[in-house]
Homo-oligomer: A and B are copies of this chain.
Amino acid sequence: MDIPTYDDVLAAHERIAPYVHRTPILTSSYINGLVGAEFYFKCENLQKAGAFKARGASNAVFGLSDEKAQKGVATHSSGNHALSLAYAAGRRGIPVTVVMPKTAPEAKKAAVIGYGGRIVECEPSTSSREAVFAKVQEETGADFVHPYNDPRVIAGQATCSKEMIEDLGELDAVIAPIGGGGMVSGCCLTLSTIAPKTKIYAGEPKNADDAYRSLRAGHIIADDAPQTVADGLKVPLKDLTWHFVSNHVEDILLAEEDEIVDAMRLIWQRMKIVMEPSSAVPLAAMLKNKEIFAGKKVGVIITGGNVDLDRLPWMKA
């Protein structure tokens, strides 16, 4: 296991600076008032490709030698990592192939193609995905950039909490949503180094609470296809992210589906930003655990903003 260090984060930040936004941090006195806390929302929904994943993907793509880069990059993802890797590869001008289930939303496919990516479809099963992906790699010799279990990706995501500490000074706590654990691992890597007093929390949907149960069990628990409105958070921890999560996360807090949708609507209404259900999980979890955060200065990571504007989850079908 190749564990990234804070030196990797420093290198990543310099490497990706020309290709990603230093995203703004927004506040809402109304939401502060609900908890009696000082919240600072780091808006990665305003990031390139609409998600923090542009950081890790750019770090992987721009860290390749020219020789390796020639053969391009590849991944499997139907979400923000697919878009972000296509974005980063497009900026470097190298080939990128994304293996996506046939059933992936057309909007996501169109976005990958819009950034110049190539899509190879698979059946919506793990076995098909792995078989198709192996073939793609064999044919192209492309470098595999895993959505989160990759030291380059984690070092890239870690630049987000680095910017928060630089802009805000020390924080009592930072909270981010947890799915595979890439962003949370990045927070662990950065904060344990430059802000060791900052407690790290993660928010997770009750309907996909594998990380929560993993933390309590002391080993990775992976569920098969959990269902939640927070569709970016269905994937399980892997060895690298487990390393960070198990060592540095203070606690994982859960939220029900309707609480996630309510928190999402609240953020849209009050903060006037478009963000996806996954990004609302931390606020939903904090609103039911106010005692932990009251009186504290808390950084909250809004992870992404890629959402189907025709199907918002608070609207009746």
Contacts and interface: CB of A to CB of B under 8 A. Distances in A.
A268 to B, nearest CB: 5
> Contact residue range for chain A?
10 to 19
Interface stretch (A144-152, A178-186, A187-195, A307-315): A307-315
Interface stretch (A77-85, A239-247, A251-259, A271-279): A271-279
A305 B315 CA distance: 19
A50 B270 CA distance: 8
Contacts of A274: 268-269, 272-274
Contact of A268 (B269, B309, B314): B309
Given A274-B268, A274-B272, A310 B314 contact: yes
B272 A275 contact: yes
Nearest to A310: B315
B314 A309 contact: yes
Contacts of A315: 310, 315
A129 B269 CA distance: 29
A315 B317 CA distance: 12
26 contacts: A24-B24, A24-B26, A26-B46, A45-B272, A46-B271, A46-B272, A46-B273, A50-B272, A265-B309, A268-B274, A268-B309, A269-B274, A269-B309, A272-B273, A272-B274, A272-B275, A272-B305, A273-B273, A273-B274, A274-B274, A309-B312, A309-B314, A310-B314, A310-B315, A312-B312, A315-B315
